[in-house]
Chain A
C-alpha cells in the first residue's frame, strides 16, 4: 500500500523535474530546443542556495533561482535567435558553462546548511503546490489564450507566423527566458528543499531527464506532470529498495532513474513510429529562423 509519506516523497522527487520540464515544454512549443536545461538548473540551484543562505528565506532563494536561470538562458537566447547558432551545440555549451560557473563560484557554499523550508497545507511545502498549480496554468495559457496561440503558432511554422506579423524572435526569447526561470526554480528546489546543501554538479542529470520527459509528455503540460511523477516514483522506489537492503549494489540501483528515462523515451518514440501517430513535436522545433524579408 502506498502511504501518504511515500506519495509525499514521490512528489518532492518529481518537483524539480516538473518545473524544469514545464519550462522546457513552453520553450519547445515556441520552436526552440534548449539542451541547456541542466546548466540552467545548476545555476538556479547555486543562486537559489546562496540567496536563501544570505537572507534566511527560502522564498528569496526561489526568486533568485528563477532570476539566475532566466539570466543565463538569455545567453542561449541571444546566440540562437539573433546570431542564428546551432541550437543543439549552443544548448550543450550552456550546460557546460553553467556547470563550470557554478563549480567556480559555489566553493564558499560547500558544507553550509540551507535554511529550513516552511511546511505547507497537508505537510506539502508550497513549492510543490506551486509546481502542481503551474500545470493547469501552463495548459490554460498555451491552449486557451491569445498569447499561447501565438507562441504555438511561432513553434509550428515560424515563416507563417512571421508573415502574419508576429515577432518570432521576441516570442522565442520570452519563451526561452520562461524556460530558464522555471529550470532555475527546479534547480533551487534541489538545493533548498531536497538536498539542503550545495554540492558541485548536484542536479546530476535532472535537466536531461526533464528534456526526455518533454518528449514523453508529447509537449503537453499534463503529460509533463505524468512523466515527472513517473520519474519521482522510480526515484522513491530505488531509495526504498536501498533502505530495505536489497542484495543489489547501491551503484546499480542508482542507475534506475536514467534507465527508466531511456525505457520511457524508447516506448514513446516507438509508439509514434509504429502506431502511425506522427510525432507531436512542434513543426519548427530546433530550426533556426532567419527572416528573408
Chain B
C-alpha cells in the first residue's frame, strides 16, 4: 500500500517542480476535457498558452499580458502575506471594488479640474478604501472572533451591490444618456491611468505591482515583521510566547492586503476599465488567491504565477474568438490548476513510500 511519510525538509527543486507539474497536469486534463467536448485538444491548448505570446495576433495580445498580470500580482502579493500567517482574506474582490469606487469618487468630485495632484489623491483614496474594507473583517475578528473568511467573503457580495448602486445612482454619468455607469476616466486627462510605454501595456498599476513584489520580498525576508508573520503561520503558540500579538497581525495582514487590492481596483477603473459599472468586479480578487498559491506565497513566484494566469485570461479570450470555446474555460482551468497544485504540493511535504502488509 502506498503511504505518505512526512519530510523533514523540502528539497528546493521539488518546491520549484511542483507548481510546474501542476501546470502541465492542468494542460493535460484541460486537453482531455476539450477532446470530450469535441474540440481539438492540441489546437485548444496551443491557442490558450502559446498563441497569445507567439501566435499571429500576438502583437495585439502581448501587451494585454501586463494589463491582466498587474492587478493579479498586486493583489496576490498582499494576500500571500496573510496566508503565510494563517489569516485568510478571501474577500480581495470586495476590497478591489471598493478601492476602485473610492478612487473614482475623488476623480468624479474633482471633475473637470485638472491638476497633478488628482491622480496621486486617487491612488491614496483607492488604497484607503480597500484598507477600510479589509479592516472590517479584521476588526470583527479581533473584537468578537468572527471568522475573517466568512466576513470578508460576505463583504464581496455587499461591495458588488455598492458598485451597482453607484453605477445606477450617485456616480451615474450626467452625459451618459441615462445609461448606468460613471464618466469614463480615460477621457479625463488628470485622472487617467494610460499606457506608459506604447505597446507594453504597462500602466501605473503594473509599476505598483513591481514595487509590491520588491516591497513584500523585503518585508518577508529582511524585516522583523515578516519574520513574525512567518513564525505565526508555522508555530502560532511559539509566536505568542515570543510576544507576537495575533490581533496586530490580523489587522496588519488584512489591512495591507486590502490596501493593495484597493489600489489594484483604482488602477483598473482609471485605466483599462475606465468607469464604474454594475459589473466592475471581474474576478481578479479570486484569481489572485490562485496566483498566491501557485507562486508558493513567495514574491518572485507570485510574479511568475501572475503572468501565467494573465496568459490564461488572454488565451481564453483568444480561444473563445478563434475556436468558439466557452468563455468559462478560463475559470475551469483556474479551478483545476488550484486542485492540481494542492495535490502536487503534497509531494513537497511528504515522501511516497511503499509499505508491505505486516
Contact = CB atoms under 8 A, between A and B. Distances in A.
Nearest to B165: A251
B146 interface: yes
B335 A100 contact: yes
A194 interface: no
Interface string A83-103: 111101110111011111101
A101 B335 contact: yes
A252 interface: yes
Contacts of B6: 290
A209 B140 CA distance: 17
Interface in B287-310: 289-290, 293
Interface stretch (B42-50, B154-162, B212-220, B266-274): B154-162
Nearest to A211: B150
Given A35-B149, A84-B350, A92 B338 contact: yes
Contacts of B169: 249, 251
B260 to A, nearest CB: 19
Contacts of B328: 100-101, 103-104, 200
Interface string B327-350: 111111111101100110110011
B335 A93 contact: yes
A164 to B, nearest CB: 19
Contact of A88 (B149, B327, B335): B149
Contacts, number: 137
Contacts of B349: 84
B347 to A, nearest CB: 9
B147 A265 contact: yes
B339 A97 contact: yes
Given A83-B346, A84-B346, A251-B165, A269 B146 contact: yes
Contacts of A7: none
Nearest to A204: B157
A85 B344 CA distance: 9
Contact of A255 (B153, B161, B290): B161
B342 A90 contact: yes
A88 B343 CA distance: 14
A231 interface: no
Nearest to B343: A83
B153 A97 contact: no
A104 B329 contact: yes
Given A251-B165, A258-B158, A208 B4 contact: no
Given A215-B147, A258-B158, A84 B326 contact: no
A206 to B, nearest CB: 10
B140 A262 contact: yes
A97 B335 contact: yes
Which DSSP category, helix, strand, loop or mixed, fits chain A's interface? helix
A254 interface: yes
Nearest to A272: B145
Which DSSP category, helix, strand, loop or mixed, fits chain B's interface? helix
Given A96-B290, A100-B331, A258-B157, A265 B90 contact: no
A6 B350 CA distance: 55
B286 interface: yes
B154 A103 contact: no
A258 B336 CA distance: 28
A108 to B, nearest CB: 10
Contacts of B293: 89
Contacts of B149: 35, 88
B4 A258 contact: no
Interface string A104-120: 10010000000000000
B168 interface: yes
A92 B90 contact: yes
How many chain B residues sit at the interface, stated as a range, is 35 or more
A215 B335 CA distance: 26
B128 to A, nearest CB: 21
Interface string A203-233: 0110011011001000000000000000000
Nearest to B3: A291
Interface in A241-292: 249, 251-252, 254-255, 258-259, 261-262, 265-267, 269-270, 272-273, 290
B88 A86 contact: no
A103 B164 CA distance: 22
Contacts of A137: none
B144 interface: yes
Contact of A100 (B88, B147, B165, B332): B332
B177 interface: no
A75 interface: yes
A79 interface: yes
A187 to B, nearest CB: 17
Contact of B339 (A93, A205, A261): A93
Given A85-B345, A93-B338, A101 B332 contact: yes
* Most A Cβ at <10 Å: residue of B154, B286, B334: B154
A205 B161 contact: no
Nearest to B137: A262
A156 B6 CA distance: 24
Interface of A: 35, 75, 79, 83-86, 88-90, 92-94, 96-101, 103-104, 107, 200, 204-205, 208-209, 211-212, 215, 249, 251-252, 254-255, 258-259, 261-262, 265-267, 269-270, 272-273, 290
Given A92-B90, A96-B335, A255-B162, 20 more contacts: A79-B342, A79-B343, A83-B346, A84-B349, A88-B149, A89-B338, A93-B290, A96-B331, A101-B328, A204-B157, A205-B153, A208-B153, A251-B161, A251-B168, A251-B169, A252-B161, A258-B155, A269-B147, A270-B145, A273-B145
10 contacts: A79-B343, A84-B350, A93-B339, A101-B332, A200-B328, A205-B153, A251-B164, A255-B157, A273-B145, A290-B4
List 3 tightest A-B contacts by C-beta distance, closest first.
A97-B335, A100-B331, A103-B328
